[in-house]
A and B are shown apart, each in its own frame.
Chain A
């Protein structure tokens, strides 16, 4: 069935380090893909999205490219900050507006 897989972490990085969080999906067709972020005690916020193959979503220094050939949507940031500490969820949406989430990756950035 449809699923989203991502590295679970936790991931601990020093400030200004490079971040990669891997995400792969299974689906029929070519779904839109999303990264959501959840800060402590809060709901989910959309970080970025890509709606078709080879699209690159970007926001707040984060980027992810929709790779059809590898069914992947890896999240990257060149220089993380302490304020990026949060849980990151890779997700895709079905035609009936159901969102399928990966397990989430907890990121801690230390000064």
Chain B
């Protein structure tokens, strides 16, 4: 079974631009969540989707948005990029709802804003 796939692996963008990151969950997984990882803040939760609905959102500005498609694939978008948005963005999928199931993570997308 293929794991969680994130594309692209690396991105370099300029301040003020926007970016879209993609995540394909493990086949059959319907929950997809996104995290931002930075040296200063660690791993922070962005949002979580289940069956195309955002169920949970972290404490990030409205420039960060996401969506999930009917095939469970998800995208996240960051508009008006700032230098502080440089980070590793991780996507995770879970097979079912509930706190007993582990989240399976992708390799991440390394975003650099210059």
A residues near B (Cβ < 8 Å) are 31-32, 34, 36, 42-46, 49, 51, 89, 92-101, 103-104
Contact = CB atoms under 8 A, between A and B. Distances in A.
> Which has the most chain B C-beta neighbours within 10 Å: A45, A46, A93?
A93
Interface string B7-50: 00000000000000000000000010101000000110100101
B100 interface: yes
A94 B42 contact: no
B43 A95 contact: no
25 contacts: A34-B102, A42-B107, A43-B105, A43-B106, A43-B107, A44-B90, A44-B105, A45-B105, A46-B102, A93-B101, A97-B31, A97-B33, A97-B48, A97-B55, A97-B56, A97-B98, A97-B101, A98-B45, A98-B58, A99-B33, A99-B35, A99-B45, A100-B45, A101-B42, A103-B42
Contact of A98 (B4, B42, B48, B90): B48
A110 to B, nearest CB: 23
A108 to B, nearest CB: 16
Given A43-B106, A94-B99, 8 more contacts: A32-B101, A34-B102, A42-B107, A43-B4, A43-B6, A44-B105, A95-B99, A101-B43
Contact of B108 (A34, A43, A46, A97): A43
B28 to A, nearest CB: 15
A93 B107 contact: no
Contacts of A36: 105
Contacts of A104: 42-43
A107 B58 CA distance: 29
B97 interface: yes
Interface string B51-84: 0000110100000000000000000000000000
Contacts of A45: 105
A34 B102 CA distance: 8
B104 A97 contact: no
A36 B106 CA distance: 13
B111 interface: no
